[in-house]
Amino acid sequence: MTDELLYANTKTNAGTTGKGERTRARILEAALDLCREHGYEKTTMRAVAKAAGVSLGNAYYYFRSKEHLIQAFYGQTHSDHLEACGPLLEGEQSFRQRLAIVLQTKIDTSMPYHRFAGVLFKTAADPASPLNPFSDASAPVRDESIALFARIIEGSDLRVGKALRPHLPKLLWTYQMGVILFWVHDRSPDCSRTRLLIDTTSKLVSQLVRVAGLPPLRPVLRSVIGLLDDLAPPDDKASGTRR
């Protein structure tokens, strides 16, 4: 399956129009504006409805809570990311290049929300918050993001051993989360420091993955994989997934 086909559904969904979609988008935009201005905690559904020009009941029809609004924002930015990645990945087989493309386009598509990301971070950093990227509520977007890294590997020239393969997509997603955290705090022009970080570390990660299966490093790799298995949540162990 080509990268173009992999991202076709996302592009189609992104182009969906209609009164309901426009109303939903207006509510989401109003919520993001209010969160930027007043912070997440002080933003209420009533204020969102007023700013969007809809009734409170209508706002709740599209979004059951503030948390659902932010989860929709996560989903929207993920769709934007996938759409931007598609054409750039088509025909590219270098694992290092594919990895850098995914990370750079993540920053590119997130730049309009840079200030908001800093506001949201105060809440999302709370382990008990449903907005935490590791929470159950964030699982749909998180799983899709991990699946993206699996496709990055599958379409590349990288050869991954059977022991590492099931773990690598989540490890790469975790690496991306570290890059995003750096980006949230990056105040350099056009976040140039984050872009430098991506350019340098994507080369390093690619090299580390390629040598991980070499005989001298196999004992270390087995220890790391054993640790990942031990740390995996019970539900993930039972299902065989690696969230």
To the nearest whole percent, how much of the chain has pLDDT over 90? 56
- pTM listed for this prediction: 0.82
Q: What is the mean pLDDT of residues 35-39?
A: 84
Residue 96's contacts (CB-CB under 8 Å, 6 or more residues apart) are: 202, 203, 206
State how far the Cα of 167 lies from the Cα of 213, in Å rounded to an integer: 13
Q: What is the pLDDT of residue 212?
A: 81
CATH of 3-15+72-239, one of 3.30.460.80, 3.40.50.2030, 1.10.357.10, 2.20.28.160: 1.10.357.10
Minimum mean pLDDT range among 116-130, 178-192, 212-226, 229-243: 229-243
Residue 82 to residue 201: CA distance in whole angstroms: 21
SS3 category, 169: helix
Please report the pLDDT score of residue 235 as a whole number.
60
pLDDT band at 234 (very low <50, low <70, confident <90, very high): low
Look at 61-65, 111-115, 152-156, 225-229 and tell me which has the smallest mean pLDDT. Answer: 225-229
SS (H, E, C) 149-215: HHHHHHCCCCCCCCCCCCCHHHHHHHHHHHHHHHHHCCCCHHHHHHHHHHHHHHHHHHHHHHHCCCH
Indicate the domain borders of the chain: 3-15+72-239
